[in-house]
Amino acid sequence: MLLLLPFDSLLVSLLGLSLTVLFTLLLVFIIVPAVFGVSFGIRKFYMKTLLKIFAWATLRMERGAKEKNHQLYKPYTNGIIAKDPTSLEEEIKEIHFCRKGMETIMDDEVTKRFSAEELESWNLLSRTNYNFQYISLRLTVLWGLGVLVRYCFLLPLRIALAFTGISLLVVGTTVVGYLPSGRCKEFLSKHVHLMCYRICVRALTAIITYHDRENRPRNGGICVANHTSPIDVIILASDGYYAMVGQVHGGLMGVIQRAMVKACPHVWFERSEVKDRHLVAKRLTEHVQDKSKLPILIFPEGTCINNTSVMMFKKGSFEIGATVYPVAIKYDPQFGDAFWNSSKYGMVTYLLRMMTSWAIVCSVWYLPPMTRETDEDAVQFANRVKSAIARQGGLVDLLWDGGLKREKVKDAFKEEQQKLYSKMIVGNHQDRSRS
């Protein structure tokens, strides 16, 4: 019967049939499981298959390099300088300023936290390993097939899922927003949010392992987590119900924000309000004091760090006096680099990189709730929470401000170090005079 139709009609019929089949598969295997929060195990099977392919590709690359007498690049893991732990007094006595300066220049603790992790193995993504070059025909063909799969199959599928999730979020929260306040509205709002975030998670083929769920944040508290990527939000929101905090945006993001706030009491600030610390603190305090309101989700670092470290937490969210629920997030870079270097890539470019990676694999740990002690100020409390997150996630605990990603070191910090050195030098000079 199809053969009797004109070619154009046949083409349209086949296209319509293909779209129908694709939509049915999306509905049955992705959207419906997302609605009910279940999984068929397809993503885990996909992850295990990828690991086997990566292992073979790495072995083949090493064998090919050995045959060609080519030295493979091995990224350093513990820094490029062996540093002897010494006190400031010892450094001054032994005149180690020059050595210390060279170490700092060559092994900068700050700037290397804003570049992607380099992998020892190859995951068939050309942007993740310096060893990417021609080794063998089979390896090149495998890489080419990977490009086709990622760009011609996974990318369109993921874009369709992301569009579905965002559309449902806008429509669902708008409809729920018209309902009268009460348990019914709260129930529907929660499940609309969870459903849409789970669909968006599947748009990234995200495979997430949640640990210690009994410690999940509760109403009237503040959830604080280390920050690697903008997708940290959907990673956490696909397993819990949070009030978001952020600046009001325009465009598509603004449409989403206005729809979400109708169904749930999120905390959005106008551009002019963001810099008013007292106003921000007041709004957040009012929110957490109402125990019926959702826990606030905050990333105190204020910028994305490259999945290796936790940098200084801003003290603002620790001055409120609410119970803090720490969360540690750690991504597996084997399947794709989740870090967003916002000074190098725009949001669209970043999302394209995410959607053309193999998958986003990560672990999330919910830590026991923490409260500020009586003899503890906000900075000490923030550092204690940060240390707990770093320890659980296997991350390096750094005191540096992530704002150094775009700004210079503050003069106050320089002066503090200068005063410290000055006191040491004066003290040593007095000791020598007495002797």
Stated pTM of the model: 0.77
One-letter amino acid identity for 205?
T
Residues 90 and 177: their CA atoms lie apart, in Å, by 65
Residue 308 or residue 42, greater confidence = 308
Mean pLDDT of the chain: 77
Phi then psi dihedrals of residue 320, to 5 deg: -70, -30
Q: What is the pLDDT of residue 45?
A: 85
Identify how many contiguous H helices and E strands the chain contains and give both numbers.
15, 9
Report the pLDDT value the prediction gives residue 224, as an integer from 0 to 100. 94
Q: How confident is the model at residue 434 (pLDDT cuts 50, 70, 90)?
A: low
Q: For residues 14 and 202, which has the higher predicted lDDT (pLDDT)?
A: 202
**Largest Cα span, the chain:** 109
Mean pLDDT confidence for 156-182? 89
- The pLDDT value given to residue 317: 83
- 289: which 2 tokens? 């004091």
Residue 97 in this model has a pLDDT that exceeds 90: no
- pLDDT at residue 73 greater than cutoff 70: no
Give residue 232's pLDDT.
92
Between these two residues, 200 and 115, which has the higher pLDDT value? 200
The SS3 call for residue 37 is coil
* pLDDT tens per residue, range 321-353: 889 999 999 998 888 888 888 778 888 888 888
Q: How many angstroms separate the CA atoms of 402 and 110, rounded?
A: 8
Range in 257-271, 330-344, 353-367, 398-412 with the lowest mean pLDDT: 398-412
DSSP string for residues in 168-217: HHHHHHHHHHTSPSSHHHHHHHHHHHHHHHHHHHHTTTEEEEEE-GGG--
Higher pLDDT, 272 or 48: 48
Structure confidence at residue 383 as a pLDDT band (50, 70, 90): very high
Does residue 215 have a pLDDT over 50? yes
For 234-243, 271-280, 306-315, which range has the lowest pLDDT when averaged over its residues? 271-280
What percent of the chain is predicted at pLDDT more than 90? 16
- pLDDT value at residue 78: 39
Alpha helices in 68-182 (DSSP H): 88-93, 97-106, 137-148, 155-177
Looking at per-residue pLDDT, the higher value among 120 and 34 belongs to 34
Distance CA 311, CA 305 (A): 8
pLDDT at 414: 60
- The band of 404, judged by pLDDT with boundaries at 50, 70 and 90, is low
Predicted pLDDT of residue 44: 81
Q: What's the pLDDT score for residue 112? A: 53
Residue type, 170: V
Whether residue 155 is predicted with pLDDT greater than 80 in this model: the reply is yes
